[in-house]
Amino acid sequence: MSHHHDSLLARQDPRLDVSDLYVFRGDRGTVFVLNVNPLSGTGGFHDDESLYEIKIDTDGDGVEDITYRFTFAPIAFAPFSTRGSQRWELRRFDGAAARDRDAAGTVLLRGVTEEPSELVRPAGGGPEGEADGALRAWAGQAGDPFWIEGTVVTAVKTALAEGTAPDLADFDPRQAKNLFADTDVQAIVLEVPDADLAGAQEIGVWGVSVLATDAGGWRQINRCATPLLNTLFVLEDADRHIDFNATVPGEDRQRYGAEVQAAIERGAAAVGAVTDPAAHAAHVRDLLLPDVLRYEVGSKAHFGWEQRNGRALTDCTPEAMFALILGAPVSMGLDASAATGVPRDVFPYLAPSKAER
Protein backbone atom coordinates (compact mmCIF):
# COMPACT_ATOMS: atom_id res chain seq x y z
CA MET A 1 0.00 0.00 0.00
CA SER A 2 1.33 3.42 -0.92
CA HIS A 3 2.04 5.71 2.00
CA HIS A 4 2.33 8.84 -0.17
CA HIS A 5 5.61 9.92 1.40
CA ASP A 6 6.66 11.40 -1.94
CA SER A 7 3.97 14.06 -1.75
CA LEU A 8 5.07 17.67 -1.34
CA LEU A 9 3.02 17.93 1.86
CA ALA A 10 4.82 14.96 3.41
CA ARG A 11 8.23 16.35 2.52
CA GLN A 12 7.33 19.72 4.04
CA ASP A 13 6.29 18.21 7.37
CA PRO A 14 7.77 20.58 10.02
CA ARG A 15 8.82 17.59 12.10
CA LEU A 16 11.43 16.89 9.39
CA ASP A 17 12.69 20.48 9.31
CA VAL A 18 16.20 20.42 10.81
CA SER A 19 16.78 23.88 12.25
CA ASP A 20 20.12 23.68 14.06
CA LEU A 21 23.04 21.46 15.00
CA TYR A 22 25.28 21.92 18.04
CA VAL A 23 28.48 20.10 19.00
CA PHE A 24 30.27 20.77 22.29
CA ARG A 25 31.96 19.22 25.32
CA GLY A 26 29.57 17.79 27.89
CA ASP A 27 29.97 16.36 31.37
CA ARG A 28 31.11 12.97 30.11
CA GLY A 29 31.96 13.25 26.44
CA THR A 30 31.07 14.89 23.14
CA VAL A 31 27.52 16.21 22.85
CA PHE A 32 25.51 16.39 19.64
CA VAL A 33 22.22 18.32 19.60
CA LEU A 34 19.93 18.07 16.58
CA ASN A 35 16.90 20.40 16.68
CA VAL A 36 13.85 20.09 14.44
CA ASN A 37 10.40 21.64 14.12
CA PRO A 38 11.28 25.27 14.98
CA LEU A 39 8.66 27.87 15.98
CA SER A 40 6.04 25.32 17.03
CA GLY A 41 8.10 22.61 18.72
CA THR A 42 4.95 20.53 19.13
CA GLY A 43 3.72 17.34 17.56
CA GLY A 44 6.70 15.21 18.50
CA PHE A 45 8.99 13.56 15.96
CA HIS A 46 8.02 12.05 12.62
CA ASP A 47 7.44 8.38 13.39
CA ASP A 48 6.23 6.93 10.07
CA GLU A 49 9.22 5.43 8.24
CA SER A 50 11.56 8.32 8.89
CA LEU A 51 15.12 8.67 10.17
CA TYR A 52 17.03 11.34 12.08
CA GLU A 53 20.77 10.97 11.62
CA ILE A 54 23.90 12.52 13.11
CA LYS A 55 26.75 12.09 10.61
CA ILE A 56 30.40 12.13 11.68
CA ASP A 57 33.42 12.42 9.37
CA THR A 58 36.60 11.29 11.15
CA ASP A 59 39.19 11.79 8.38
CA GLY A 60 38.35 15.18 6.84
CA ASP A 61 36.99 14.08 3.46
CA GLY A 62 33.41 15.27 3.97
CA VAL A 63 32.11 11.69 3.93
CA GLU A 64 30.55 10.11 7.01
CA ASP A 65 32.46 7.35 8.79
CA ILE A 66 30.04 7.05 11.71
CA THR A 67 26.26 7.52 11.71
CA TYR A 68 24.06 7.67 14.79
CA ARG A 69 20.47 7.07 13.71
CA PHE A 70 17.32 7.77 15.73
CA THR A 71 13.93 6.36 14.81
CA PHE A 72 10.64 7.03 16.58
CA ALA A 73 7.41 5.14 17.10
CA PRO A 74 4.15 5.98 18.86
CA ILE A 75 3.29 4.54 22.25
CA ALA A 76 -0.10 2.87 21.95
CA PHE A 77 -0.72 2.54 25.68
CA ALA A 78 1.69 4.73 27.63
CA PRO A 79 2.18 3.79 31.30
CA PHE A 80 0.88 6.30 33.84
CA SER A 81 4.41 7.45 34.75
CA THR A 82 5.45 8.18 31.17
CA ARG A 83 5.31 11.84 30.14
CA GLY A 84 6.46 11.17 26.58
CA SER A 85 4.26 9.94 23.77
CA GLN A 86 6.86 8.26 21.56
CA ARG A 87 9.41 5.50 21.82
CA TRP A 88 12.83 6.01 20.27
CA GLU A 89 15.68 3.75 19.24
CA LEU A 90 19.31 4.67 18.62
CA ARG A 91 21.55 2.66 16.28
CA ARG A 92 25.17 3.14 15.27
CA PHE A 93 26.67 2.49 11.82
CA ASP A 94 30.36 2.45 10.89
CA GLY A 95 32.35 2.54 7.65
CA ALA A 96 30.34 1.77 4.51
CA ALA A 97 27.28 1.01 6.65
CA ALA A 98 27.30 4.65 7.81
CA ARG A 99 26.29 5.58 4.26
CA ASP A 100 23.82 2.72 3.74
CA ARG A 101 20.30 3.47 4.96
CA ASP A 102 19.33 -0.16 4.55
CA ALA A 103 22.12 -1.43 6.82
CA ALA A 104 21.12 -2.99 10.16
CA GLY A 105 23.68 -1.24 12.39
CA THR A 106 23.97 -1.85 16.12
CA VAL A 107 21.26 -0.95 18.62
CA LEU A 108 22.78 1.18 21.39
CA LEU A 109 19.85 2.59 23.33
CA ARG A 110 16.08 2.62 23.51
CA GLY A 111 13.95 5.09 25.39
CA VAL A 112 10.84 7.25 25.60
CA THR A 113 10.55 10.92 24.73
CA GLU A 114 10.74 13.36 27.64
CA GLU A 115 11.92 10.62 29.99
CA PRO A 116 15.26 10.72 31.84
CA SER A 117 18.16 9.45 29.74
CA GLU A 118 19.37 5.90 29.80
CA LEU A 119 22.99 5.14 30.65
CA VAL A 120 24.84 2.16 29.21
CA ARG A 121 28.36 0.84 29.13
CA PRO A 122 29.56 0.56 25.52
CA ALA A 123 31.98 -2.23 24.65
CA GLY A 124 35.48 -1.18 25.66
CA GLY A 125 34.19 1.65 27.84
CA GLY A 126 34.79 2.21 31.50
CA PRO A 127 32.48 1.35 34.38
CA GLU A 128 28.97 2.72 34.21
CA GLY A 129 28.92 6.38 35.17
CA GLU A 130 32.58 7.08 34.39
CA ALA A 131 33.45 9.77 31.89
CA ASP A 132 34.94 7.36 29.35
CA GLY A 133 32.14 4.81 29.49
CA ALA A 134 28.82 6.65 29.52
CA LEU A 135 26.60 6.98 26.47
CA ARG A 136 23.28 8.72 26.88
CA ALA A 137 20.50 10.15 24.77
CA TRP A 138 17.38 12.22 25.24
CA ALA A 139 14.65 13.36 22.87
CA GLY A 140 11.82 15.76 23.53
CA GLN A 141 10.56 19.32 23.57
CA ALA A 142 12.94 22.09 24.66
CA GLY A 143 13.41 25.84 24.47
CA ASP A 144 14.99 26.95 21.19
CA PRO A 145 18.56 28.19 21.94
CA PHE A 146 18.82 30.03 18.59
CA TRP A 147 18.26 33.76 18.31
CA ILE A 148 18.30 36.14 15.34
CA GLU A 149 17.02 39.59 14.38
CA GLY A 150 14.83 39.48 11.27
CA THR A 151 15.67 42.94 9.93
CA VAL A 152 19.40 42.31 10.11
CA VAL A 153 19.43 38.87 8.52
CA THR A 154 17.22 40.13 5.69
CA ALA A 155 19.61 43.05 5.08
CA VAL A 156 22.64 40.75 4.93
CA LYS A 157 20.88 38.24 2.69
CA THR A 158 19.85 41.04 0.31
CA ALA A 159 23.38 42.45 0.29
CA LEU A 160 24.83 39.10 -0.77
CA ALA A 161 22.25 38.66 -3.50
CA GLU A 162 22.56 42.18 -4.93
CA GLY A 163 26.19 43.04 -4.24
CA THR A 164 25.45 45.92 -1.89
CA ALA A 165 26.34 46.79 1.68
CA PRO A 166 23.65 45.78 4.20
CA ASP A 167 21.08 48.58 4.46
CA LEU A 168 20.38 49.03 8.16
CA ALA A 169 19.59 52.74 8.08
CA ASP A 170 16.13 52.16 9.56
CA PHE A 171 17.20 49.53 12.07
CA ASP A 172 17.16 50.53 15.73
CA PRO A 173 19.15 48.03 17.85
CA ARG A 174 17.15 49.15 20.89
CA GLN A 175 14.06 47.66 19.23
CA ALA A 176 15.76 44.40 18.23
CA LYS A 177 13.61 41.28 18.61
CA ASN A 178 14.44 37.61 18.39
CA LEU A 179 12.35 35.92 15.71
CA PHE A 180 12.39 32.74 17.80
CA ALA A 181 11.68 34.29 21.19
CA ASP A 182 9.68 32.08 23.56
CA THR A 183 9.45 29.20 21.08
CA ASP A 184 10.28 25.53 21.41
CA VAL A 185 11.89 22.88 19.24
CA GLN A 186 11.89 19.12 19.22
CA ALA A 187 15.43 18.16 20.21
CA ILE A 188 17.61 15.08 20.04
CA VAL A 189 20.55 15.15 22.46
CA LEU A 190 23.27 12.51 22.23
CA GLU A 191 26.38 12.37 24.43
CA VAL A 192 29.04 9.81 23.51
CA PRO A 193 32.39 8.94 25.09
CA ASP A 194 35.27 10.50 23.19
CA ALA A 195 36.72 7.01 22.80
CA ASP A 196 33.73 6.11 20.60
CA LEU A 197 34.83 8.55 17.89
CA ALA A 198 37.37 6.21 16.29
CA GLY A 199 40.34 7.98 17.82
CA ALA A 200 39.73 11.12 15.74
CA GLN A 201 41.22 14.33 17.10
CA GLU A 202 38.96 16.44 14.90
CA ILE A 203 35.57 15.53 13.49
CA GLY A 204 33.18 17.02 10.97
CA VAL A 205 29.50 16.74 11.87
CA TRP A 206 26.17 17.30 10.16
CA GLY A 207 22.58 16.25 10.79
CA VAL A 208 19.90 15.04 8.40
CA SER A 209 16.26 14.00 8.32
CA VAL A 210 15.20 11.21 5.96
CA LEU A 211 11.84 9.92 4.76
CA ALA A 212 10.90 6.67 3.05
CA THR A 213 9.81 6.92 -0.60
CA ASP A 214 6.85 5.29 -2.27
CA ALA A 215 9.30 3.31 -4.39
CA GLY A 216 10.81 1.67 -1.32
CA GLY A 217 14.01 3.71 -0.96
CA TRP A 218 14.88 6.81 1.06
CA ARG A 219 14.81 10.53 0.37
CA GLN A 220 16.96 12.94 2.38
CA ILE A 221 14.65 15.79 3.35
CA ASN A 222 16.88 18.21 5.24
CA ARG A 223 20.51 18.62 6.23
CA CYS A 224 22.17 21.10 8.54
CA ALA A 225 25.63 21.93 9.86
CA THR A 226 26.90 25.51 9.49
CA PRO A 227 24.27 27.94 10.81
CA LEU A 228 22.49 30.08 8.18
CA LEU A 229 24.48 28.71 5.23
CA ASN A 230 21.45 27.78 3.16
CA THR A 231 19.54 30.85 4.34
CA LEU A 232 22.18 33.40 3.33
CA PHE A 233 23.16 31.80 0.03
CA VAL A 234 19.77 30.38 -1.01
CA LEU A 235 21.16 26.99 -2.01
CA GLU A 236 17.67 25.48 -2.16
CA ASP A 237 15.92 26.64 -5.34
CA ALA A 238 13.36 24.40 -7.03
CA ASP A 239 13.08 26.74 -10.04
CA ARG A 240 16.76 26.19 -10.79
CA HIS A 241 16.61 22.51 -9.81
CA ILE A 242 18.99 23.08 -6.91
CA ASP A 243 18.24 20.67 -4.06
CA PHE A 244 20.90 21.36 -1.43
CA ASN A 245 19.08 19.34 1.21
CA ALA A 246 19.16 16.18 -0.89
CA THR A 247 22.92 16.28 -1.50
CA VAL A 248 25.95 15.37 0.63
CA PRO A 249 28.81 17.51 2.02
CA GLY A 250 31.50 15.77 -0.03
CA GLU A 251 29.98 17.30 -3.18
CA ASP A 252 29.51 20.83 -1.82
CA ARG A 253 32.50 22.61 -3.32
CA GLN A 254 31.85 21.21 -6.76
CA ARG A 255 28.12 21.87 -6.66
CA TYR A 256 27.90 25.18 -4.80
CA GLY A 257 31.43 26.57 -4.52
CA ALA A 258 31.28 28.99 -7.46
CA GLU A 259 27.93 30.45 -6.40
CA VAL A 260 28.94 30.84 -2.76
CA GLN A 261 32.27 32.41 -3.69
CA ALA A 262 30.64 34.90 -6.07
CA ALA A 263 28.12 36.00 -3.44
CA ILE A 264 30.81 36.47 -0.80
CA GLU A 265 32.94 38.50 -3.20
CA ARG A 266 29.99 40.76 -4.11
CA GLY A 267 29.07 41.42 -0.52
CA ALA A 268 32.63 41.91 0.75
CA ALA A 269 33.48 44.26 -2.11
CA ALA A 270 30.43 46.41 -1.37
CA VAL A 271 31.26 46.62 2.34
CA GLY A 272 34.87 47.50 1.54
CA ALA A 273 36.46 46.12 4.70
CA VAL A 274 38.82 43.64 2.99
CA THR A 275 41.62 44.62 0.63
CA ASP A 276 41.17 41.71 -1.79
CA PRO A 277 37.51 40.60 -2.00
CA ALA A 278 38.30 37.81 -4.47
CA ALA A 279 40.93 36.22 -2.23
CA HIS A 280 38.70 36.72 0.79
CA ALA A 281 35.81 35.00 -0.97
CA ALA A 282 37.92 32.01 -1.98
CA HIS A 283 39.20 31.63 1.58
CA VAL A 284 35.76 31.83 3.17
CA ARG A 285 34.30 29.44 0.59
CA ASP A 286 36.82 26.85 1.68
CA LEU A 287 35.96 27.46 5.33
CA LEU A 288 32.24 26.99 4.70
CA LEU A 289 32.37 24.10 2.25
CA PRO A 290 31.98 21.22 2.65
CA ASP A 291 29.15 22.08 4.98
CA VAL A 292 30.19 20.30 8.16
CA LEU A 293 30.60 21.56 11.70
CA ARG A 294 34.23 20.95 12.59
CA TYR A 295 35.10 20.19 16.21
CA GLU A 296 38.30 19.32 18.07
CA VAL A 297 37.33 16.41 20.29
CA GLY A 298 37.61 17.15 23.99
CA SER A 299 37.95 20.93 23.62
CA LYS A 300 35.70 23.85 24.51
CA ALA A 301 33.34 24.64 21.65
CA HIS A 302 32.97 28.13 20.21
CA PHE A 303 31.55 29.32 16.90
CA GLY A 304 32.89 32.82 16.32
CA TRP A 305 34.18 35.12 13.60
CA GLU A 306 37.87 34.41 14.02
CA GLN A 307 37.63 30.83 15.25
CA ARG A 308 35.02 28.12 14.77
CA ASN A 309 35.22 24.95 16.79
CA GLY A 310 31.93 23.11 17.10
CA ARG A 311 29.02 25.18 18.34
CA ALA A 312 27.96 25.93 21.89
CA LEU A 313 24.36 26.62 22.87
CA THR A 314 25.05 30.29 23.66
CA ASP A 315 27.21 31.20 20.65
CA CYS A 316 26.01 34.19 18.63
CA THR A 317 26.32 32.37 15.33
CA PRO A 318 24.47 34.85 13.07
CA GLU A 319 26.89 37.68 13.88
CA ALA A 320 29.81 35.29 13.44
CA MET A 321 28.55 34.33 9.98
CA PHE A 322 27.88 37.94 8.95
CA ALA A 323 31.40 39.02 9.94
CA LEU A 324 33.07 35.98 8.40
CA ILE A 325 31.35 36.47 5.06
CA LEU A 326 31.44 40.28 4.77
CA GLY A 327 34.78 40.81 6.50
CA ALA A 328 33.25 43.29 8.96
CA PRO A 329 31.00 42.99 12.02
CA VAL A 330 27.25 43.44 11.74
CA SER A 331 25.42 43.74 15.06
CA MET A 332 21.92 42.43 15.71
CA GLY A 333 21.52 44.25 19.01
CA LEU A 334 20.86 40.94 20.78
CA ASP A 335 22.78 38.56 23.01
CA ALA A 336 22.17 35.13 24.54
CA SER A 337 19.59 36.56 26.93
CA ALA A 338 17.27 36.94 23.92
CA ALA A 339 17.10 33.16 23.47
CA THR A 340 14.27 31.06 24.84
CA GLY A 341 15.13 30.00 28.38
CA VAL A 342 18.56 29.39 29.88
CA PRO A 343 20.54 26.27 28.92
CA ARG A 344 21.08 23.80 31.74
CA ASP A 345 24.55 22.93 33.01
CA VAL A 346 23.67 19.24 33.10
CA PHE A 347 22.37 16.73 30.59
CA PRO A 348 20.32 17.21 28.40
CA TYR A 349 21.73 20.76 28.53
CA LEU A 350 18.95 22.52 26.62
CA ALA A 351 16.56 24.94 28.32
CA PRO A 352 13.27 23.43 29.44
CA SER A 353 10.23 23.72 27.19
CA LYS A 354 7.53 26.30 27.79
CA ALA A 355 5.42 23.71 29.56
CA GLU A 356 8.23 23.14 32.07
CA ARG A 357 9.30 26.74 32.58
For 214-258, give the DSSP string: TTSSEEEEEEE-STTHHHHHT-EEGGGTEEGGGS-GGGHHHHHHH
Instruction: State the pLDDT at residue 356.
Output: 85
CB 113 within 8 A of CB 44: yes
Tell me how far apart the alpha carbons of residues 323 and 166 are, in angstroms, rounded to a whole number.
12
Average pLDDT over the chain, rounded to an integer = 90
Phi and psi at residue 262, in whole multiples of 5°?
-65, -40
**pLDDT higher than threshold 90 for residue 110:** yes
Q: Which helix (H) or strand (E) holds 70?
A: strand 66-74
Q: How many CB atoms lie within 10 A of CB 4?
A: 9
pTM of the model: 0.93
172 phi and psi angles, rounded to 5 deg: -110, 105
Question: In 3D, which of 289, 287, 282 has the Cα closest to residue 261?
Answer: 282
208-245 pLDDT, tens digit each = 999 999 888 999 999 999 999 999 998 876 666 568 99
